[in-house]
Amino acid sequence: MVNYILINPLKNNGFGISSYIDIANRYLEDDIFKHVNVHIISNDEKLDRAAFQHYISTYIAKNFSKSNTIIESPETYASTLTLAGYYVHIRLHTPIAIVQRINKVPVDEIRLQEECQVINNASIVSAPSDAIVDELSDDINFSDVNKVIYRNPIMQIHNNGSYLKEYDVVFMGRNERLKGVEYLNSILEQLPPHYNVLIFGQRMNDFTLSTNIQCHVTVKGALYGEDKIDALNKSKCILALSLFENCSMVILEALAMNIPVICWDVAGNAEFIAEGMVFGAKIGDINTINDHILYINQTELPLPVFNEMCFLIYSEFLSGLKVILNDFNDTMFKGEKIVRHNFRGYKFSNISLNKTSLPLPSDTYIVDTRKVSISNFDFSIFDDSTVNNLILKGNIGSDLFDYISKSKFNVSEIPSLDTESF
């Protein structure tokens, strides 16, 4: 049995780290991880950084063996700085230095040094996007780091069918430069008078609305848990204006609820831009942002595509966890590989895919390119006129995949539909 410890140094449900840990914990409770015991250690007492580092090293040393324990911790707060001899998985969120640089405030150099140190000392480092690796390339030599990349997890889909779409657009974010609040008034000033807008987030109660805004705007402070989910579910679209994102939990939460997102086409957001779901614009292009808002409010968007995208992200994170466990113990999840998708221009099959929808629709055929190639594949299957959708798993980019991807069928890629754990 493997102990898998998730460390949360920031005990606040408003932070993306807390959302990530909550959802990652649900993944690890799946039957495929039946040989894994999950433990969450949170900074409930709101200890300062040094005190929490000491607490982590003494508590884990007292209660867990080095031979069967994985510690996953964000680089934030450098919680594992004084922990020695354990297998440590550092999950890159966003170091405070990046936030401080974008907010144009002095960088806490000591904290940055500590956060870089735990990254360099880690047994393995996982990143949710290429963007965070690029952003830290001046601080970390990643060629010397045991690194894997896979997106953040996506939550179980909430039932949004019973929600009335009360808001034409919702903005959720902290009142700070990083979250793009400087553009908010300019966007709202262009919206029609009959539009209904909700703004909420930490310190957003202090945000000053322009007197030139004609639409109706409701401003609230931070919302947590089900209150946050309820607010998002009542929206026709989500506005995410962060100037830098690693792998936005806001975008993931919106997608899970079949709600389209409008964001700046920057950093980790660029890996999510997908037709009909995640709409991008260059930073400062207010007109394009407003065009997206109007389009979404006037258009019926296909729900099956949301489900398929969510399933691909679900599969990616699931594979990421398996790769971490295999790196710790090579008898677990042998041969597991992470397949990542750039959704920009991705050809979705328009079939509804999620964990509970299997088996797949009858007009869908799965091609496992680990077992067949273009030389031995039975193409007569395509003579059956009932086959409309193809799902490729296994060796993406093989000769068979290249051939089929040019066919008349709706083709999508699923890295693995297996449920075997060992």
Is the residue at 155 inside a domain? no
Residues 174 and 293 in one domain: yes
Same domain membership, residue 245 and residue 357: no
Contact 234, 166 (CB under 8 A): yes
289 & 354 share domain: no
**Angstrom distance (rounded) from CA 292 to CA 136:** 32
d(CA 2, CA 306): 34
333 CB-near residues (< 8 Å, 6+ apart):
322, 323, 325, 326, 421, 422
| Residue where a domain terminates, one of 270, 301, 332 | 301
- CATH number, domain containing residue 270: 3.40.50.2000
Give how many domains the chain has, as a whole number.
Answer: 3
Residue 324 placed within a domain? yes
- Residue 178 domain-assigned (yes or no): yes
pLDDT, one tens digit for every residue, the chain (422 residues): 999 999 999 866 456 788 899 899 988 988 889 899 999 999 999 999 999 999 999 999 999 999 999 999 999 999 999 999 999 999 999 888 888 998 889 999 999 999 999 999 999 999 999 999 999 998 899 999 999 999 999 876 554 444 578 999 999 998 999 999 999 999 999 999 999 999 999 999 999 999 999 999 999 998 887 888 889 889 999 999 999 989 988 899 898 888 999 999 999 999 899 988 999 999 999 999 999 999 999 988 766 677 778 878 888 898 999 999 999 999 898 888 888 888 888 777 655 444 444 444 555 666 666 666 666 666 665 565 566 666 666 555 566 666 666 665 666 655 444 433 22
Looking at the structure, tell me whether residues 142 and 263 fall in a common domain.
Answer: no
Domain check: are 282 and 242 in the same one? yes
Q: Identify whether 419 is part of a domain.
A: no
Let me know whether 145 and 109 are in one domain: yes
- 116 lies in some domain: yes
Give the amino acid at 222. Answer: A
pTM for the model stands at 0.80
| Contact assessment for residue 302 and residue 313, using Cβ atoms and an 8 Å cutoff | no
DSSP E strand boundaries for 21-164: 36-42, 69-74, 87-91, 124-127, 147-149
In terms of residue numbers, what domain contains 313? 305-413
Side chain identity, residue 97: A
Task: Tell which residue, 393, 94, 400, has the closest CA to residue 242.
Answer: 94
Last residue of a domain, one of 301, 332, 367: 301
- Asked if 88 and 80 touch (Cβ cutoff 8 Å), the reply is yes
Pick the closest to residue 250 from 151, 172, 343, 163 (CA basis): 172
**Statement to judge: residues 77 and 144 lie in one domain:** yes
197 and 295: one domain? yes
Q: Is 394 a member of any domain?
A: yes
pLDDT at 113: 94
**Residue 154 domain-assigned?**
no
192 and 296 in one domain?
Answer: yes
Helices and strands in the chain: count of H runs, count of E runs: 11, 15
Residues 66 and 90 in one domain: yes
Does residue 293 share a domain with residue 178?
yes
198's enclosing H/E stretch is: strand 196-200
- Output the pLDDT for position 308: 78
Same structural domain for residues 297 and 317? no
Question: Does 263 fall in a domain?
Answer: yes
Residue 177's identity, in one-letter code, is R
Residue 57 has φ and ψ, to the nearest 5°, of -65, -40
Sign of CA dihedral 232, 233, 235, 241: positive
Q: What is the phi-psi region of residue 149: left when phi exceeds 0, alpha when psi lies from -120 to 50, beta otherwise?
A: beta
Chosen domain end from 94, 117, 149: 149
